[in-house]
Amino acid sequence: MAIPVAVLGAGNFGTCLATLCAAENEVRLWARDPKLVEGILRTRKNPRYLTDAPIPEAVHPTSDLAAALRGAELVILAVPSQSLRGVAEAAAPHLAPGSIVVSAVKGIEVETGRTMSAVLREVLPSEWADRIVCLSGPSFASEIAARKPTVVTLACAEETYAISVQATLSCPWFRCYSQTDVLGVELGGALKNVIAIAVGIGDGQLQGHNSRAALMTRGLAEITRLGLKLGAEAQTFQGLSGMGDLVLTCTGDRSRNRQVGLALGRGQSLAAILDEMGEVAEGVETTRAVCRLAERIGVEMPIAEGVREVLDGRCTPAEAGQRLMQRQLRSESEDDGAA
């Protein structure tokens, strides 16, 4: 049954999700910039993101947030992680009663160390606390837009709501699984970006496939260790939002976080990389946020800390790699934070 859908954020992922939902629903796509909206209306393509993907007539772009949300039964947030709080605060008064809110945002809030669902629970009225669903998994927007097979996870503490979203989003090329470990799904989706930067740094230095495999494996161990400390479930990190997203983001050259790492490994400065990229690489701020969080709760994350030191210019990529290789030797089965 068709429902009114609002997608907040007209970047790559927001644009692709709006197009996906428009197959059977009326969709309002909100963009902050009126010029972007005008471009979509004029050409039925996004002039900045997924520029080759046609946008169906069932997608109605607007820069009016209240109009985008009016009567929407499903609200999908697809904005940068550090912008989520502000957008959610502005959206809260306009949410339709009974609507379901989906976070498609992968990151950790820098100032607070909170996950995206925690930010939403803090900002939105209390009646939405159980209706926040988190979407994560290996999903390049360009491949979804090209109708290439993609499989993701939808997590909600009240799984009924995840199942409802599952029925709306799933189609022959986009398959959704549901589950209840919201924290694990969010941490996997956010922290894999940090490890992707690390892998990119190694690949940029031509360190080889052995190094890549080691960073991915020990990176997953770091992610899992932090997750368990915070109360997530171990098996979640073996699934789509854990290992699945990690593999894609670390090895797929469409990954912005991998590209940041590659450029750092080749000697470029972070400022120059981000200026040239012109898009948000979530892993940069997530690295800083997760390192602060890990320090606060006493979890050792040497790969993430090495990435932070490189990002902050406190050591070179080569020095960061040497420090990891020269750490105290120990058993792989130890659960004390070793890399």
Who's near 178: CB < 8 A, 6+ residues apart?
Answer: 153, 154, 155, 156, 159, 162, 163, 166
If you write DSSP's letter for every residue of 178-238 in order, what string do you get?
A: EES-HHHHHHHHHHHHHHHHHHHHHHHTT--HHHHHHHHHHHHHHHHHHHHHHT--GGGGG
134 close to 166: Cβ distance less than 8 angstroms: no
At 287, give phi and psi (nearest 5°). -55, -50
Q: Which residues are catalytic?
A: 192
Q: Can you read off the two tokens belonging to residue 23?
A: 């197959």
Q: Can you read off the two tokens belonging to residue 168?
A: 């709306």
Q: What is the DSSP letter of 152?
A: E
Q: How far apart are CA 338 and CA 53, in angstroms?
A: 44
